[in-house]
Chain A
Amino acid sequence: MVLAMVVCANIGDLLLKLGMTQIGAVEFTAPGLAHAFRETVTSGTIWLGILFLLGFMVSYMTVLSWADYSFVMPAGAFGYAVLTLLAVIFLHERVSPGRWVGVILICVGVLLVGQTRPRTTEAALQSKVTA
């Protein structure tokens, strides 16, 4: 579920970025903004991006209904590491040594947090009874 959360957030962001690049730079005037609004509302890429971000929100809420916030939050940072790897593999970007050190720190940090108990507070009594 945490994996779904990270994947959805990243794909959603990438699609939004892709969609907005297709539309081009927005002019900060009333007609410019109105034009940009029409373009974004009719763009399939933007809607797909929003759908993925909604998927992120639902998985995030579901995870938080049983796991600690201090457990889920660092795991979300795993996305930065995934994004760097994707940039290297698919976009053939050059990554500076400092950035690689950052990716390694994130991975070690997420692994450390992942070893701890996901839930340290008491379960709500009403959970799993209804529905």
Chain B
Amino acid sequence: MARAVLVVALAVSGCAQTDNDRPATIEYITEAILAPSCGQYTCHSSYRMEKGYAFDTVEAARRSLKLNLVVPKDVEASQLNTVLTRQIKRMPYDSPLPDKDIALIQTWIMGDAAKDLGLP
């Protein structure tokens, strides 16, 4: 029965799938990726502010990302990319992000990050 559930779910998820063409915007990245995976109450919530960062709302993410986490147009120099991809102290601690979520964040860094964060 478990296999049947997974097969049905995968079949549904496989219908009419496209490339990673999701909006590379701070709103989408926050609400679809950062808030549910990183903005949990005990970690990067506006209440807890672990390490001084919060990602549970778009405004909180905007404030946190512009601190020192993103260098627009430079993925390798962006601390956000580093913590999501390194092997030691990789974030999120409880379950890593899928490669395509990281790729979308990298696309955003190379694209609209400067505009979204008001950085040069």
Q: Please say whether chains A and B are actual partners in one complex.
A: no
Which chain B residues have a beta carbon within 8 Å of chain A's beta carbons? none
Which chain A residues have a beta carbon within 8 Å of chain B's beta carbons? none
